[in-house]
């Protein structure tokens, strides 16, 4: 599945904000790493923003999944026909895309946060 298909399947409105958060997260992480390599002093808020943006991506993904499930169950309730179980499972699978994507961004954010935090502690000790 390509990235564009992934966004369309997960819902463009829900997936694009997570992607924007991921791009911003990578930009801030690159800024912090380049600043450290140049021996510049950076504020702790840059490091904290990495963790907070990752957390926001996870929350946005969870929120999007809950909205999708709410809409799907509303459609199931309104349906007059019996809906086959594979169709329901397919809808559940699609609904989980946003939470998986948001949690993946959060994992990357925590990984970057830990690596940068440890490197800052190591440079202070040296």
Q: What is the pLDDT of residues 60-89, one digit of tens each?
A: 999 999 998 888 888 878 878 877 777 777
pLDDT at 63: 94
The per-residue pLDDT of the chain, averaged, comes to: 87
In a domain, 120, yes or no: yes
Q: What is the CA radius of gyration of the chain?
A: 19
> Would residue 7 count as lying in a domain?
no
Is residue 6, in this structure, part of any structural domain at all? no
In a domain, 10, yes or no: no
Inside any domain, residue 86: no
Least trusted range by pLDDT, from 2-11, 34-43, 96-105: 2-11
Task: Assess if residue 121 is contained within a domain.
Answer: yes
**Which pTM does this prediction carry?**
0.85
Within-domain flag for 52: yes
Residue 104 belongs to what domain range? 15-65+97-125
Q: How many domains does the chain have?
A: 1
Q: For residue 19, is it within any domain?
A: yes
Decide if 116 contacts 29 (C-beta within 8 A). Answer: yes
């Amino acid at each position: 599945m390509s990235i564009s298909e992934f966004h369309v399947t997960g819902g463009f409105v829900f997936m694009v904000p997570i992607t924007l958060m991921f791009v911003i997260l990578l930009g801030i992480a690159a800024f912090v790493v380049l600043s450290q390599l140049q021996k510049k002093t950076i504020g702790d808020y840059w490091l904290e923003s990495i963790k907070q943006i990752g957390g926001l991506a996870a929350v946005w993904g969870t929120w999007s999944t809950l909205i999708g499930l709410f809409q799907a169950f509303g459609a199931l309730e309104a349906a007059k026909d019996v809906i086959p179980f594979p169709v329901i499972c397919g809808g559940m699978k699609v609904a989980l895309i946003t939470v998986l994507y948001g949690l993946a961004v959060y994992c990357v954010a925590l990984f970057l946060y830990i690596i940068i935090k440890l490197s800052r502690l190591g440079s202070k000790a040296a």
